[in-house]
Structures are given as structure tokens and as C-alpha cells.
Amino acid sequence: MLSKLIDYFLPVHNPEFTNGQRDRRLIIMVMLIAVLADFLGVLTSLEIDAKVIIYTLGTNFVLNIILLFLYKNGLSKAIVVHLFLAHHAISIYIQAFLQGGLMTPGCFSLFLLPALAILLLGKRAAIIWVCITILLITSFFVYESFYEIVPVGYDLEKKKFFFFSSLVYINITIFFILMVYENSKTRGLSEIEKKNHDLLEAQAQLIQAEKMASLGELTAGIAHEIQNPLNFVNNFSELNQELIVEMEKELEIGNFEAAKEISRDIVANEGKIIFHGKRADAIVKGMLLHSRTSTGKKEPSDLNELVDEYVRLTYQGLRAKNKSFNTAIVTDFDEQVGQVNIVPQDIGRVILNLLNNAFYAVNERALSEVGGGFIPKVTVSTELISLKKATKNEKSVLIKIADNGGGIAPQIAEKIFQPFFTTKPTGKGTGLGLSLSYDIVTKGHGGQMTVESVLGEGATFVLKLPIE
């Protein structure tokens, strides 16, 4: 029943009401409760023959219904609520005066006004109605300092019943206000949780899209890299086939020494086939590892080998897409780094993203300085560092990826790790690569990720990973 009444009074004409369904229903619910309370108040006043109070509550009853229809037909929320509070303030003030002034239930009812204001309009409206309430109470105090207010307008013999019914009315009203507020808060939290859930789902989809995009960047490099070991496997397999035929001939004529020599060559070739077969297997496993959803589980990994692998795959991938692209690659791996406890597929994505950015930067500068003698160069290095703290040494490893491209302006460097921020043309970057990389390094591994750049000379990205 209440729900149908609320739906009936929902505003439909004013464009202000295209949003905020929950707020609209809340206002109508409070006004309907006020209509019911005024009706009950009229019945109570009839019992004690309080004619003036009957008139004031009856007027409230009518005004509330008029305001509901005005709200339904497009009168703004602020005007409706302030009019609602104003006519109730006048009614409560009259009732308090008739009941006997400052120390009466009617006067205490004035405190409902700021509560309703903050519930329906917010803090600013509540402050206004707190001031109005204090002003009305002060007027009682000042008046009673000089004159005595004698209760009038009702049967004084029924004063206790009147005060009792007024206090019950106030308590029930406060209860309903708190219930409405609690329901409103619960619904608001539910909406926030739903929106948060939707945002998390969207974030997961964006992360997966970024992962698949980075896998696409690797595909051409993987195809090139896997072709080399497969060529070795094919070539040595064919060679062994020929050597076996030759060995059989030597055995037929009794030339055992020559047959032994050939068999040693076959064994050596088999070793090379096994080596390159494992190399191809490692490339395929690396590709699968990169595409798989990260479990976040850290494991000991050869960091130098991981970085070297991604350098070659990323470079060959770009070369496969753009035959004219070329750059010098300098690697300087600290042999002391060894095994580091990391999530390999996550750190691999970070390196892939930084290398793609470095290759993009040097290529853009090369295209803009054709014939200027510019030689593109990307430097990748690792370094084990140790810092003495208290009674122990804290070790960490640095990964530096530097390019001699156009560099990054200081105002851009400040925002470079923000989600969706990119300086690349539309279609060439999502703006998520560096943001995700930053989160992987800082949140996923407890490390640091910084950028050092000189405009026109290049940029260096530095990853600092703690060794656990």
C-alpha cells in the first residue's frame, strides 16, 4: 500500500528528477508519515477538545497533501522540503505556546526539524534549520523571562494525557525518521557495493585486454624465436639421418673405426637437437605463462634470463611487424643477481611494456631525424645492491631500461603512471600499460618504479625489487 502511494506521487515532469530515485522516494515517504501523524494528532486533540490544535494539525494535513501533489507535478525538491519544514515549524510553535511554552512536548518537537532537514536536503539545510530552531526556542525563553505562559485551548484536566500522547508522537516520529534513514543508508551502501563490483569487473576486463594486447605484441617475436630452434632440430635431424645411412655402409664393409666416428657425430647432433628442443619448449611455456591469469604466487626465478628472454622476444616481435625498425641493444646483467623471488609472468609483463615504450621512443626519434646521424639505442641492465640497516643487510635488485629517444617532459613525467594517461596517438596505446606495471612492482612486489628523463636525450625507467 505504502509503496503504491509513493509510486503515485513520484515526480514525472521536471527534468531535475531524471536521477536520484532513492532520494525522491525518501521525501515522499517522510511526507506521507507526516500526513498520518497529523491525522492521529487530530484524533487525539478531539479527545481533549483542543480546537486550536485541531485546526493547526488539520491545516498541516491539508498542506502536506498539497505539497505532495506539487512535488508530483514538478516543484523542486528544495522548495517542497523547506515549505514542508516551515509550516510544521509554525504548527509546532503554536502548539508549544498553547501547551505552556519552553518545558512542553511541543517545544521538544522543534528538534525534529534539523533532523528532517539533514535527512532530506543535507548539511547546509540542516544548519539553516538548527538556527531557526534555536531562534524559536530562544523566543520562548525571552518571553517567559518576563511573562508567564498559561496553557490554553484544551481541557487542563486532561493535560497528562495530552502530554503523554505528544511524547508518544515525538518518539514514534523519531523512530520512523531513524528507520527511513537506516533504510536509505542500507540501500545507498548496496548501490555503492554494486557499483564497486561493476568497477572491479571492468578493471579485470581491462587488465585481461591489456594482457592479451601485450601477448599480441609478443606473438611475432615468439614466432621468430621459435623458428630458430626448430630449424636446428630439423637440420640436425636430417643430418643424423644421412649419417646413419653412411654409418650402415661403413659397417657393411667392416670399417668399424669410421662407423664409431660417425656415431660420435650422431650423439653430438642428438645433444644439439635436445638442447634446441628444450629451447623451443621453454619459449612455448613462456608464452603460455604470459597469457595465463596470474595467481600472484612468487617463485624463485632467474631474473637475468627472464629479462634477456623478453628483450629478444620484444625486439623480434617489433622487427616482424616493421622490417625497417632497427636499434642497437646493449645488455649489462649483473651475474650476482641470480634467483629472485618474483611472480615471473607479472614482471615479464612489466619488462615487455617498458621495452615496447623504449623501442617506440627511439623509433619515433629516428623517423623525425632522418639523415641526422641519430643511432637508436636501448640499454637494459640489472644490478644487485646491498644496504646496511641496523644488524642486517637489505638486498634488492635494480632493473634499468634506458633509451635515447625524445625523452619525457617534466609535466608529463608526473602523470605517466596514472591510469589511461598516454602520449601516444589514438589506437597506439591504452594508457594502462605503465599504470598496471607500476601496481605490479609497488603493490605486487613491494618495490619501487621511477623514471628519469632529460627532454631530447632519452628516458630511463628504474625498477627496484626487494630480495626476500
Q: Which parts of 147-214 are beta strand (E)?
A: none
Lowest mean pLDDT among 193-207, 260-274, 293-307: 193-207
Is residue 378 one of the residues assigned to a domain?
yes
Which DSSP state fits 346? H
What amino acid is encoded at 116 in this protein? L
Residue 301, Ramachandran bin (φ over 0: left; ψ between -120 and 50: alpha; else beta): beta
416 and 434 Cβ atoms separated by less than 8 Å = yes
Residue ending a domain, among 103, 138, 154, is 154
Per-residue pLDDT at 462? 94
From 152-161, 331-340, 354-363, 420-429, the region with the lowest mean pLDDT: 152-161
Among 84-98, 107-121, 160-174, 359-373, the range scoring the smallest mean pLDDT is 160-174
- Give the number of other Cβ atoms within 10 Å of residue 174's Cβ: 14
More confident call, 248 vs 26: 248
**Within-domain flag for 257:** no
Percent of the chain whose pLDDT exceeds 90: 14
Asked if pLDDT for residue 46 goes beyond 80, the answer is no
Q: Is the pLDDT of residue 83 over 80?
A: yes
Per-residue confidence (pLDDT) for residue 52, from 0 to 100: 74
CA pair distance 232, 271, nearest whole angstrom: 11
pLDDT tens profile 294-308: 566 888 989 999 999
pLDDT band at 14 (very low <50, low <70, confident <90, very high): very low
CATH code of the domain containing 440: 3.30.565.10
pLDDT computed for residue 217 by the predictor: 55
Q: What are phi and psi of 325, to 5 degrees?
A: -70, 135
**pLDDT single digits (tens) 365-417:** 988 887 778 899 999 999 998 876 545 667 899 999 999 998 988 888 888 88
Q: Cβ contacts of residue 383 below 8 Å, gap of 6+? A: 334, 337, 397, 398, 400
Instruction: Write out pLDDT tens, residues 66-78.
Output: 998 988 888 888 8
Length of the chain: 468
Residue 359: predicted pLDDT: 92
pLDDT of residue 186: 66
Looking at 89, 122, 154, the residue that finishes a domain is: 154
Evaluate if residue 207 carries a pLDDT over 70.
Answer: no
Looking at the domain assignment, is residue 250 inside a domain?
Answer: no
Q: What is the pLDDT of residue 12?
A: 64
- Domain range for residue 326? 299-468
Whether 104 is in a domain gets the answer yes
Instruction: Identify which of 272, 276, 286 has the alpha carbon closest to the alpha carbon of residue 221.
Output: 286
99: in domain: yes
| pLDDT at residue number 155 | 55
C-alpha to C-alpha distance for 53 and 100, rounded to whole angstroms: 13
Q: Which residues contact 175 (CB under 8 A, 6 or more apart)?
A: none
With cut-offs at 50, 70 and 90, classify the pLDDT of residue 190. low
The two beta strands, 448-454 and 392-403, are unpaired
Report yes or no on 76 lying in a domain.
yes
Residue 98 lies in a domain: yes
The pLDDT of residue 25 is 79
Give 288-308 as a DSSP string.
Answer: HHHHSPP----EEEEHHHHHH
Of residues 244 and 167, more confidently modeled:
244
| More confident position, 158 or 168 | 168
Q: Is 113 exposed, middle or buried (0-12, 13-18, 19+ CB in 10 A)?
A: buried
Query: Is the pTM for the entire model greater than 0.75?
Result: no
Residue 170 lies in a domain: no
Q: Which of 179-193, 238-252, 388-402 has the lowest mean pLDDT?
A: 179-193
In this predicted structure, what is the pLDDT of residue 321? 79
User: Is residue 82 packed enough to be buried (19+ CB in 10 Å), middle (13-18) or exposed (0-12)?
Assistant: middle
- Predicted pLDDT of residue 27: 84
If one counts the domains in the chain, the total is: 2
- Cβ atoms of 82 and 124 within 8 Å: the answer is no
> Torsions phi, psi of 322, nearest 5?
-135, 95
Cell of 280: 623451443
CA separation for the pair 240, 123 (Å, rounded) = 87
- Per mean pLDDT, which range of 4-8, 37-41, 119-123, 170-174 is the poorest? 170-174
- Helix 256-291 and helix 303-321: axis angle, to 10°? 80
How far apart are the C-alpha atoms of 213 and 353, rounded to whole Å?
Answer: 10
Split at pLDDT 50, 70, 90, the class of 15 is very low
- Final residue belonging to a domain, choices 120, 154, 188: 154
Measure CA of the first residue to CA of the last residue in the chain; give whole Å: 64
The pLDDT mean for the chain works out to 79
For residue 82, the model assigns a pLDDT of 92
Q: What is residue 105's three-state secondary structure?
A: helix
